[in-house]
Amino acid sequence: MSTLTPRQRLSRLDVKASPYLYIAPFFILFALVGLFPLLYTFVVSLYDWHLLKGQGDFVGLGNFTAVLQDRFFWNSLFNTFSIFLLSAIPQLLAAVIIAAVLDANIRGKTFWRMAVLLPYVVTPVAVSIIFSNLFGDDYGLVNNLLQNFGLDPVAWHRETFASHFAIATMVNWRWTGYNALILLAAMQAVPRELHESAAIDGAGAVRRFVSITIPSIRPTMIFVIITATIGGLQIFAEPRLFDPATAGGVGGSHRQFQTTVLYLWEMAFFRQNFGEAAAIAWLLFIIIIVIGLINFMLTRRIATGDSAKSRRALPWVRRRHEQVEQTVTTPGTIAEDVKL
Amino acid sequence: MKLSRGTTAGSVIAGAAAFALLATGCASDAGASDGDVELTITTFGTFGYDDLYKQYEDENPGVTIKATNIDTGGNARTDAFTKLAAGSGLSDVVAVEEGWLGQIMEVSDQFVDLGDHGADDVKDRWIDWKLSQATDPDGRIIGYGTDIGPTGLCYNGALFEAAGMPSDREAVAELFGGEDATWEQYFDLGKQYFDATGKPWFDHSGFVWNSIVNQLDEGYYTADGKLNVEGNDELKARFLELAEAAQYGLSADQAAWDWGGGKAFVDGTFATFVCPGWMLGVVQGQVEAGGGDASTGWDFADVFPGGAGNWGGAFLSVPKTSEHPEEAAKLAEWLTAPEQQIKQFEAAGTFPSTTEAQEKLAADATPNEFFNDAPVGAILASRAEGVIAQYKGPHDSLIQENVFGPALKSVDEGTKDGPAAWDEAISLLNEVVPD
């Protein structure tokens, strides 16, 4: 071993070091634009920090306590969750259904798939401007239609729930198709044999969808739900542009639709308090992680209750992998499950 | 989906090309040849500069102007401060609004002292207070004044007539009390109008409030820079007077800067509108956007409740981050020269801040076709008499938008009466405005 030629040494080094070099660009980029800002934000959150005048005194967790005692912060959390629930749930349900329809044998597949994705191409800014016009209080198209049917106009910008509904509509319009396509891709990877054998065993379309399709696309569902959670809790452009002028565009005259990121923006660039804004950013970060974990655990339980039983002793990662593997490789098991 | 070999190769090339573009993009800025300068400028609202840019480019070969216009002064403020904080991104010339000039003054060292670029030769052209507003405590001039905001009354003659009121400009001025016009009189007339037509008198309370506050000797701040809201009995009395009028039904509760895409200006939603000079361009723009024209009936009277007042006006500043401070200062100087201020006035109704241009307009009775042939320039010059600049503190625009804005919205929506809305304003003040 000690008589390796330089060339051999180089070759060994290549084997050992190259993999790290190959993945290095991502990690270097991540450290630069992900990790560093994250940590620096935390540093900022520990100081009095003015947008223009810069760093002030060290205040410890003072900014965090100030934010937690701030009624506008809690108001923004309420708004964020309200809009999130109003958008995420209908959106994912619709996406699953659309994906299932697209997965069936329909004519003009590519056309339908493109059509579903089209809203995603439009920038959120354009979507917000068009929708806030549609949802205008006095002259909007939606209210005009309502009045044509003899209904009372809705104060879309003034009332809390109505404004949340309008903003959730923008989000749904833009994201449903995107999620549907991702779910569709997952559905197409489900082996057809599973469906066939289940069909032979007498399972109807709905039964097959619930017992085969849904469990099989579970990893993708988790992905879609987690990204929807992150996106939903970080919503900014839509509420910002829903009313860009009133009270400086901070989300309605009485902050009816001020989300947490919008509040963060107000704190940082409107009130120029960078310290508290950084604290809000960190609190939001923690909240998103917590909600993400809760969603992850909930989704793991969805639709796969029975096959998880036998492997309770194994760590969750292995369990999940094995289970996916099993779902894919041993159609018999599922088919038997279906029959039960 | 199966990728054919052709598509794969194609996308690899496309990706590589995109990356190459990205990599070279940063360097290409410096590629301009000698003598050629590209100047960027950011304005807001209806500034009326478009033709002037062209003229400047024609007269100064080698200079190209890249202009950005932001919809409202409030959004321009956010834009400016965000870029100041980032330390880059500001245009070579930045329009600063009077309402947030106080905040700019706190970081005046980030702006070029125009005294280094010949400001001393031209500083006599401005009226005194405009110049002193733009001078920082160290005596550096950090902005050239563009316009000031003497305020007159816009009213819709057709609606006045329909309500049995005089619609003729002089008669209207007389009706509101001429030189001695008061807000009380304005609100009383509004109530008569409301009783006769069932329609609101003004678009929303926020703008009326702005003009009321701007008339006071001291507004949200005392002249020596102390907050002057809590315990300010005069301010509160004015607030309650306005709230009472709004509760009566005089406010149309419109969203400012939206006005239903201008339709509220056209369909008779409200009959009067507070009009600083620069607002005239806004009114015209809104009416036209809403599908109206001169026949919609808007007119401009030489009268204003509560007397003279200045609302708004702007300055052109050159941030230190500018790569061409000399050329930028020259452009700012040219744009704010009397001749150009007159052209700006003709394009957007902004009333000049230089004595020469003001005198010219005062003698000028050119009718404005859009405002029922009103001699807008002469009227504004008359409205500018006795205007006193009020001291604007660092958080003036914040108080205007996020303290009194929401409180007056409560009044307009009918969810709070005057005293409750005042309390809301005070509690917002304590929460939002840093000590």
Here the ipTM equals 0.85
Residues 254-273 of A with CB under 8 A from B: 254, 269-273
Taking an 8 Å cut-off on Cβ atoms, the answer to whether B261 and A271 are in contact is no
- Closest partner residue to B82 (CB to CB) among A53, A254, A269 is A269
Q: State the pLDDT at residue B431.
A: 92
| Structure confidence at residue B387 (pLDDT) | 87
Which pLDDT tens digit goes with each residue over B90-101? 999 999 999 999
Task: Please check whether residue B255 touches A, CB under 8 A.
Answer: yes
- Judged against a pLDDT cut of 50, whether residue B169 lies above it is answered with yes
Q: Give the Cα-Cα-Cα angle B395, B397, B400 (nearest 5 degrees).
A: 110
Region B216-236 average pLDDT = 94
Q: Does residue A329 have a pLDDT over 60?
A: no
pLDDT of residue A46: 97
Would you state the pLDDT for residue A298?
A: 85
pLDDT one-digit tens code per residue, A129-167: 999 999 999 899 999 999 999 999 999 999 999 999 999
- Asked if B78's CB is within 8 angstroms of A270's CB, the reply is yes
Mean pLDDT of B58-86: 93
Write down the pLDDT at residue B364. Answer: 84
What pLDDT sits at residue B295?
A: 95
pLDDT higher than 50, residue A323: no
A59-117: pLDDT as tens digits: 999 999 999 999 999 999 999 999 999 999 999 999 999 999 999 888 998 999 999 99
Among B81, B90, B258, B397, the strongest candidate for a mutation testing the A interface, having the largest count of A CBs within 10 A, is: B258
Percent of chain B with pLDDT over 70: 92
Q: Closest to A245 (Cβ–Cβ): which among B74, B82, B261?
A: B74
Q: Which of A254, A263, A273 is most worth mutating to test chain B (most B CB atoms within 10 A of its CB)? A: A254
Helices (H), chain A: 6-30, 36-45, 62-68, 71-103, 109-121, 124-134, 141-148, 160-188, 192-200, 205-208, 214-216, 218-233, 237-242, 260-265, 274-301, 305-308, 316-329, 331-339
Model confidence, pTM:
0.85
B160-166 contact pairs (CB < 8 A, 24+): B160/B193, B160/B271, B162/B197, B163/B192, B163/B193, B163/B196, B163/B197, B163/B271, B164/B196, B165/B189, B165/B192, B165/B193
Could you tell me which of A30, A35, A34, A58 has the C-alpha nearest to residue A45? A58
Residue B17: the pLDDT is 46
Q: Which of residues 304-343 of B touch A (CB under 8 A)?
A: none
Q: Residue A2's pLDDT is what? A: 64
A138 to B264: CB separation less than 8 angstroms, yes or no: yes
- At A307 the pLDDT is 46
Indicate whether A315 pLDDT > 60. no
Averaged confidence pLDDT in chain B? 90
Chain B residues touching residue A53 (CB < 8 angstroms): 106-107
Share of chain A above pLDDT 70, in %: 88
Tokens representing B433?
């405005």
B71–A72: do the CB atoms touch at under 8 Å?
A: no
B59's enclosing H/E stretch is helix B50-59
Q: What is the mean pLDDT of chain A?
A: 87
Which of A51, A67, A72, A139 to mutate against chain B (most B CBs within 10 Å)?
A139
pLDDT at B9 over 50: no
Cβ count within 10 A of residue B131: 19
Q: How far is A224 from chain B (nearest CA, A)?
A: 21
